[in-house]
Amino acid sequence: MRQILIVGAGASGMTAAIHAARAGAEVILLEQKDRPGKKILSTGNGRCNLTNLDQREEYYRCSCPSFPSKALEQFSVEDTLEFFGRLGILPKSRNGYIYPNSDQAASVLEALLQELKALGVRVICNTPVTGAVKKGEAFFVYSGDRKFRGDALILAAGSKAAPATGSDGSGYELASGFGHRLITPLPALVQLRCGEKHYKRLAGVRTEARVSLYASGTFLASDQGELQLTDYGISGIPTFQVSRYASVALHRKQEVVAKIHFLPQMDQGQARDLLSRRREDMRGRTCLQFMNGLLNSKLSAVLLNLAGIREDQPVTSVTEAQWDKLFTWLTNYETKVTAVNSFEHAQVCCGGVDVGQVREDTLESKLVPGLYFCGELLDVDGICGGYNLQWAWSSGATVGRNSAGLAGGAKASRADTRQGDNIKLNKT
């Protein structure tokens, strides 16, 4: 019986273990924390956004953009729904975002743990891996004075994001030990710290906005959604979606600027027309009253101040130059990004094991036969919305099947697999 060693019992590691065991391999899953899957519990704000029905290549970022596609094709969203459906998880869709019907990440983790137990996978916790080597055709993994042997080794130790859950970057050292290049891991899906002093006045404000990111004057990325303003800068989904580009640009010592449109449902012409109409409708009001109902009052006060307009100033006394400045701050607010928050605050990392040294069809090392990589350890990161978990399921299934000897990642057969069955989604 083929023996598989897996380092890291997160989402991708557990998925790899299940698929390798289903293919007939004997699997040992090593986890340095006191229990598996800690990071799963925090996904989707504790509800576990399993995947997303809207799959596009551009939603996965990688130094080789096409690299993730092979694994995502081998274990698709449909495969993910079937996989969890057969583990007892009833999926439901919220506009294409897939969650367990229980709305509990703990139920997803429990389902995975039950399957690992049913398949006889040895899950060994409190076992930090201190080294790994290949001798002849066998791999040996060391944890203190303990030694484990396998015919194949899967590194699923995660990135450096959220280290409290176990992903402390130790997997990078193991990969480097086998001669693999690393693209510098940096925080992604993370908050941005900004240089202006007025953010302390904006802390707690949430508003719909479009965030566009520039490095040394070159446009990098943009996203729209609920922006959160903090006492140090900007947060929220649109910030997270562009943050990996800020991380890379700042690492390269480039000047990074975020431009924010606080009326994103309008183009520039529509926004200017709106302000003109409000000026006529509110001629007898103060400027703070003019802003009432347009934006959050704290944000309105700061924007008026930036435009050089007093809050108690009559609308009729505002000069055209002041109106132009206010319009600019409303539709093209510019802030200097000085840093990203640390790995402790990041959901994932950009960077990791260079995919140029990994086979895209099997995720096996091109340097060391029998060595496989999956999950966040690789230089693949997804946007918010279930994409990083889909990468975990897809890459985990791919390495599990291939390490167990299933050519081309063919799907393992199961006694309870019935042709034509479909997992139905609840919609909320």
Domains and CATH numbers, the chain: 3-186+351-414 (3.50.50.60), 191-340 (1.10.8.50)
Dist. CA 295–CA 285, nearest whole Å = 16
* 427 pLDDT above the threshold of 80: no
Which among 416, 412, 414, 390 is positioned nearest to 401, based on CA atoms? 412
Task: State both tokens at 288.
Answer: 């703070």
What pLDDT, on the 0 to 100 scale, is given for residue 428?
59
Which residues lie closer than 8 Å to 139 by C-beta, 6 or more apart?
Answer: 5, 132, 133, 149, 150, 151, 152, 153, 370, 371
What pLDDT, on the 0 to 100 scale, is given for residue 413?
38
The model carries a pTM of 0.93
Residue 136, CA distances (Å) to 3, 43, 150, 400 in order: 15, 40, 11, 22
Place 166 in a pLDDT band, splitting at 50, 70 and 90. Answer: confident
- Mean pLDDT over each residue of the chain, to the nearest integer: 94
Q: How long, in residues, is the chain?
A: 428
Dist. CA 386–CA 48, nearest whole Å = 8
Q: Determine which of 113-122, 200-209, 407-416 has the lowest per-residue pLDDT on average.
A: 407-416
Dist. CA 24–CA 22, nearest whole Å = 5
Dist. CA 157–CA 36, nearest whole Å = 11
Task: State both tokens at 285.
Answer: 């009001």
* 412 pLDDT above the threshold of 50: no
- Point out which residues pair with 258 in neighbouring strands: 213, 335
Q: How many CB atoms lie within 10 A of CB 45?
A: 9
410, with CB counted inside 10 A (0-12, 13-18, 19+), is exposed
What pLDDT, on the 0 to 100 scale, is given for residue 420?
33
Residue 245, CA distances (Å) to 35, 194, 347 in order: 33, 15, 15
Residue 308, CA distances (Å) to 65, 199, 279, 286 in order: 46, 17, 17, 14
* 106 pLDDT above the threshold of 70: yes
pLDDT digits (tens, 9 = 90+) for 220-277: 999 999 999 999 999 999 999 999 999 999 999 999 999 999 999 999 999 999 999 9
Place 418 in a pLDDT band, splitting at 50, 70 and 90. Answer: very low
What pLDDT, on the 0 to 100 scale, is given for residue 417?
35
* 38 pLDDT above the threshold of 80: yes
- Greater confidence (322 vs 424) lies with 322
Alpha-carbon torsion, ordered 339, 344, 347, 353, to 10 deg: 90
Dist. CA 324–CA 330, nearest whole Å = 10
Helix (H) or strand (E) holding 5: strand 3-7
